[in-house]
């Protein structure tokens, strides 16, 4: 190898080495950069550093006492402002532990609210109705169905209606039956008539009477064997016995069953045809007991046949089964439909819809039934005047018997919120109320009927309050993360501390009683008496009965309409009616809770109003041991029996004052029983 070749090889090797070293340096630089970026991202994700305006910095706890968190992901917590590494939202200051004294609410920031799409709706008072939808089957009206049977033994010689489905009119001939028995009975009657004619001039009265009786009995025998009056008259005219009997239909309709054939021997009582008059048909429904309790005789039902979609039928309820089926736990309801056109076929299915107003059961207004008379068997028979049902002959009855008013009845209003606002878990039902912009407060609610898109609220929300209808699960999760009550445990904290409740007897600046005359005064005293009955029931560990509650509610409603009463007194009566409306339907513990506001209203009312005929004083008692305080109640006598605890603490409490039936005293400076209690 020459010297030039050696130098050239040396230079090439040096060049390769130089390029290799340059590439290694560049690779190490790039690798270090990538590693740095990965480490920065990891540090930001775990919260070691935060960024603002595109800058990233590491801040130690000693540098800042403020903690920042994500509204959507509260587990992200860091000591400097920045953005959430999960969702990218701007971090907000987190409240310090122990600083949040609002145990029943959470504040949602505007940015978080927009992202979570939290929406609200207002609770409104309005009349509401629910819809019962169910499937039923068309059936034959049993009252318009007849079985044609043989009255005699014999052979079927001819069937005129020789296939099922034949339309027949009343009086049409259906079959001819051959019967020797019938022939001999006819011959016997013909001979009896001839003998009676021969003895008509007989001097012996006894013989004539005996022969006349024999002829009458022979004629009645023919009737028993199935001959009609026309057939018997024809026999009397011709005096020719026939061994063949033509059978006629007693009703018009459709032959639904053909039960024999020509030439067959049949026995007396054996069915030949079944005929149904299909001008009226039944729709048989099965309702749950709670739904069946809200429908009534004569109520309108709309139905759509599966075979005729789009066509609405309208009928009225004719029967509600008084018993519950043991197997299905349902109640049978029968609806009558007019079928003069014959388009409704037994066995067809129909979807039925019944509109039910939400509210206490009472009179309802139906324009088609107002002031009318209705058949108790056939609700489609509605007349303006009393009379007899043309179908069954029963006396028509006024529609008021079934709860239909003669004049329009104001619809009962209910507090309604959207169904989506209610969160339920087991026995708990809660909503979130926006009391201030962005502040959502947890409320336990008592639900009434739940409709398709709405829910009736009995307690927990006031008219006009705004409830969260969308995003309320996010609000609930924020409550859980903050360790506050939520739908899982809404009773974690009480709404008020014990010191916030009044735990002393009701006080009145003065007792100035106005006497009410006439019927209003009687109703007022009846209201007090029904209250005392409920008080005694609770003291005896017994739920109030329906009569006691209804008397209290009815009198409160009637008195609240009196123009002579003040607005404050009307409000007290309305509070009594509202809290007492379902007192007999709830448990005894719930009844005692509702009894408290009723008692406050009754005690206050007794210091202002009494009936003109009232003579006995009332006695105000107070128990300091009642849960959440405010344990006042009224009694007709001074023998203390505690309605809030019953037998558990029957004598717990004190007599606060005696309220005479007619008084004008300054109760602020007078405590009727202070001296007595001091002596004791």
pLDDT at 270: 86
Q: Tell me the pLDDT tens digit for each residue of 214-232.
A: 888 888 888 888 888 888 8
At residue 4, does pLDDT exceed 70? Answer: no
**Phi and psi angles of residue 31, each rounded to the nearest 5 degrees, phi first:** -60, -40
Classify residue 388 by its DSSP letter.
Answer: B
CA distance 19 to 26: 11
At residue 541, does pLDDT exceed 70? Answer: yes
Q: Which residues pair with 108 in a beta bridge?
A: none
| 192 in Cβ contact with 211 (< 8 Å) | yes
pLDDT at 382: 80
At residue 290, does pLDDT exceed 90? Answer: no
Lowest mean pLDDT among 17-26, 57-66, 385-394, 452-461: 57-66
Closest CA to 465 of 124, 128, 126: 124
Q: What is the mean pLDDT of the chain?
A: 79
For the chain, what is the radius of gyration of the CA atoms?
A: 44
Closest CA to 640 of 627, 658, 628: 658
CA distance 317 to 137: 14
For 81-118, give the DSSP string: --B-TTT-PBPEEPPPTTT---TTEEE--HHHHHHHT-
| Assigned token pair, 233 | 């008259």
| 600 in Cβ contact with 648 (< 8 Å) | no
Q: Tell me the pLDDT tens digit for each residue of 97-135.
A: 433 446 788 888 888 888 888 999 999 888 767 788 889
| 484 in Cβ contact with 493 (< 8 Å) | yes
The CB density around residue 208, as the number of other CB atoms within 10 Å, is 15
| 459 in Cβ contact with 591 (< 8 Å) | no
pLDDT at 618: 92
CA distance 165 to 253: 9
Could you tell me the domains of the chain? 49-99 (no CATH), 119-126+412-495 (2.40.420.20), 142-276 (2.40.50.100), 511-679 (no CATH)
| 430 in Cβ contact with 423 (< 8 Å) | yes
Q: Which residues pair with 55 in a beta bridge?
A: 52
Q: Taken in order 163, 164, 166, 172, is the CA torsion positive or negative?
A: positive
- Model pTM score: 0.46
Lowest mean pLDDT among 143-152, 244-253, 362-371, 652-661: 362-371
More confident position, 669 or 330: 330
Mean pLDDT of 287-306: 86
pLDDT at 158: 86
The CB density around residue 86, as the number of other CB atoms within 10 Å, is 12
Residue 308 to residues 114, 315, 335, 618: CA-CA distances in angstroms?
48, 16, 18, 67
At residue 469, does pLDDT exceed 90? Answer: yes
Spatial neighbors of 481 by CB under 8 A, at least 6 apart, are 74, 75
Q: Which residues pair with 314 in a beta bridge?
A: 302
Banded pLDDT at 13 (limits 50, 70, 90):
low
| Assigned token pair, 172 | 């049409």
Banded pLDDT at 625 (limits 50, 70, 90):
confident
**Phi and psi angles of residue 454, each rounded to the nearest 5 degrees, phi first:** -135, 165
Spatial neighbors of 212 by CB under 8 A, at least 6 apart, are 196
**Phi and psi angles of residue 598, each rounded to the nearest 5 degrees, phi first:** -65, -45
| Assigned token pair, 255 | 């032959």
User: Residue length, the chain?
Assistant: 680
CA distance 112 to 653: 52
| 528 in Cβ contact with 535 (< 8 Å) | no
Output b/e per residue, 26-63; b: 16+ Cβ within 10 A. eeeeeeeeeeeeeeeeeebeebebbeeeeeeeeeeeee
| 85 in Cβ contact with 44 (< 8 Å) | yes
Determine the number of helices (DSSP H) and then strands (DSSP E) in the chain.
12, 39
120 SS3 class = strand
């Amino acid at each position: 190898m020459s010297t030039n070749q050696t130098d050239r090889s040396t230079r090439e090797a040096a060049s390769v080495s130089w390029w290799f070293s340059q590439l290694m340096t560049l690779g190490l630089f790039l690798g270090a950069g990538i590693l740095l970026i990965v480490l920065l991202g990891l540090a930001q994700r775990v919260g070691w550093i935060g960024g603002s305006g595109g800058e990233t910095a590491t801040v130690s706890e000693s540098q800042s006492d403020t903690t920042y968190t994500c509204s959507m992901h509260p587990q992200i917590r860091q000591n400097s402002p920045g953005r959430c590494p999960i969702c990218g939202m701007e971090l907000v200051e987190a409240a310090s532990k122990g600083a949040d004294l609002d145990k029943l609410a959470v504040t949602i920031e505007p940015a978080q609210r927009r992202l979570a799409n939290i929406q609200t709706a207002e609770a409104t008072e309005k009349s509401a109705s629910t819809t019962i939808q169910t499937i039923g089957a068309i059936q034959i009206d049993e009252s318009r169905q007849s079985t044609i049977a043989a009255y005699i033994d014999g052979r079927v010689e001819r069937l005129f209606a020789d296939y099922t489905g034949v339309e027949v009119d009343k009086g049409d001939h259906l079959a001819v039956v051959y019967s020797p028995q019938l022939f001999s009975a006819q011959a016997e009657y013909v001979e009896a008539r001839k003998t009676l004619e021969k003895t008509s001039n007989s001097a012996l009265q006894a013989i004539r009477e005996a022969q006349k009786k024999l002829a009458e009995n022979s004629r009645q025998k023919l009737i028993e064997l199935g001959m009609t009056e026309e057939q018997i008259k024809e026999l009397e005219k011709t005096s020719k016995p026939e061994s063949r009997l033509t059978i006629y239909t007693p009703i018009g309709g459709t032959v639904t069953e053909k039960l024999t054939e020509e030439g067959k021997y049949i026995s007396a009582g054996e069915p030949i045809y079944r005929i149904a008059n299909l001008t009226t048909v039944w729709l048989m429904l099965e309702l749950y007991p709670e739904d069946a309790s809200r429908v009534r005789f004569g109520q309108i039902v709309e139905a759509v046949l599966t075979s005729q979609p789009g066509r609405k039928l309208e009928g009225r309820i004719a029967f509600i089964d008084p018993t519950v089926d043991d197997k299905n736990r349902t109640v049978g309801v029968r609806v009558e439909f007019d079928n003069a056109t014959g388009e409704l076929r037994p066995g067809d299915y129909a979807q039925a819809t019944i509109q039910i107003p939400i509210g206490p059961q009472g009179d309802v207004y139906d324009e088609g039934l107002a002031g009318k008379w209705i058949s108790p068997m056939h609700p489609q028979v509605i007349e303006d005047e009393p009379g007899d049902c043309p179908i069954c002959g029963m006396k028509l009855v006024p529609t008021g018997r079934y709860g239909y008013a003669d004049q329009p009845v104001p619809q009962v209003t209910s507090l309604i919120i959207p169904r989506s606002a209610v969160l339920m878990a087991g026995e708990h039902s809660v909503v979130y109320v926006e009391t201030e912009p962005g502040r959502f407060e947890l409320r336990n609610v008592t639900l009434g009927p739940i409709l398709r898109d709405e829910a009736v609220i009995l307690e927990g929300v006031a008219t006009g309050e705004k409830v969260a209808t969308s995003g309320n699960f996010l609000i609930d999760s924020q409550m859980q993360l903050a360790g506050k009550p939520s739908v899982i445990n809404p009773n974690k904290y009480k709404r008020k501390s014990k010191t916030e409740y009044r735990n002393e007897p009701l006080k009145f600046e003065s007792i100035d009683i106005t006497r009410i005359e006439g019927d209003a005064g009687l109703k007022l005293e009846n209201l007090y008496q029904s209250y005392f009955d409920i008080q005694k029931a609770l003291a005896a560990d017994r739920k109030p009965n329906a009569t006691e509650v209804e008397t209290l509610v009815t009198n409160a409603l009637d008195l609240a309409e009196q123009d002579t009463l003040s607005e404050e007194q009307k409000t007290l009566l309305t509070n009594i009616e509202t809290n007492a409306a379902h007192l007999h339907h709830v448990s005894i513990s719930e009844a005692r809770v509702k009894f408290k506001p009723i008692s406050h209203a009754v005690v206050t009312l007794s210091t202002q109003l009494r009936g003109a005929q009232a003579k006995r004083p009332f006695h105000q008692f107070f128990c300091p041991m009642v849960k959440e305080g405010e344990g006042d109640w009224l009694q007709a006598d001074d023998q203390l029996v505690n309605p809030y605890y019953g037998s558990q603490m029957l004598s717990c409490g004190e007599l606060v004052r005696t309220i005479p039936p007619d008084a004008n005293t300054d109760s602020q400076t007078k405590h009727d029983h202070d001296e007595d209690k001091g002596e004791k």
